[in-house]
Amino acid sequence: MSGNSQLLVPEEIIKEKIYLIRDVKVMLDMDLSELYGVETRVLKQTVRRNINRFPGDFMFVLTRKEHDEFKQHFGTRQRGSHSKYPPFAFSEQGVAMLSSVLNSERAIMVNIQIIRIFTRLREILTAHKEVLERFDRIEYKMAEHDQKILVIFEYLKQLEQIKREELEKSKRSIIKGFKSNDQKK
State whether the Cα torsion 102-27-15-42 is positive or negative: positive
Name the β-bridge partners of 60. 89
Q: What is the pLDDT of residue 2?
A: 42
Mean pLDDT along residues 80-100? 81
Give 55-78 pLDDT, tens digit per residue.
999 999 999 888 888 877 776 554
Tell whether the model's pLDDT for residue 181 goes beyond 70.
no
Tell whether the model's pLDDT for residue 123 goes beyond 60.
yes
Q: What is the pLDDT of residue 127?
A: 79
Q: Are strands 59-61 and 18-21 parallel, antiparallel or unpaired?
A: unpaired
pTM, whole model, 2 decimals? Answer: 0.58
Please, which pLDDT band fits residue 185 given cuts at 50, 70 and 90?
Answer: low
Q: SS3 for 21?
A: strand
Instruction: Compute CA 126 distance to the chain's CA centroid, rounded to the nearest angstrom.
Output: 9
Please, which pLDDT band fits residue 94 given cuts at 50, 70 and 90?
Answer: very high
156 Cβ contact list (under 8 Å, min separation 6): none
Q: What is the pLDDT of residue 103?
A: 77
Q: What is the pLDDT of residue 47?
A: 94
Give 11-57 pLDDT, tens digit per residue.
888 888 999 999 999 999 999 999 888 899 999 999 999 999 999 99
Q: Where are the beta strands (DSSP E) in 29-162?
A: 59-61, 88-90
Q: What is the pLDDT of residue 171?
A: 73
Q: What is the pLDDT of residue 7?
A: 42
* Residue 117 CB-density burial (10 A; 0-12 exposed, 13-18 middle, 19+ buried): buried
Mean pLDDT along residues 69-93? 73
CA dihedral 60, 63, 69, 73 (to 10 degrees): 20
Interatomic CA distance for residues 156 and 150, integer angstroms: 10
Give 126-161 pLDDT, tens digit per residue.
877 777 777 778 787 777 878 888 888 888 888 888
Tell whether the model's pLDDT for residue 176 goes beyond 80.
no
**Do 109 and 8 meet the contact criterion of CB atoms below 8 Å apart?**
yes
* Residue 121 CB-density burial (10 A; 0-12 exposed, 13-18 middle, 19+ buried): middle
Give 97-106 pLDDT, tens digit per residue.
888 888 778 8
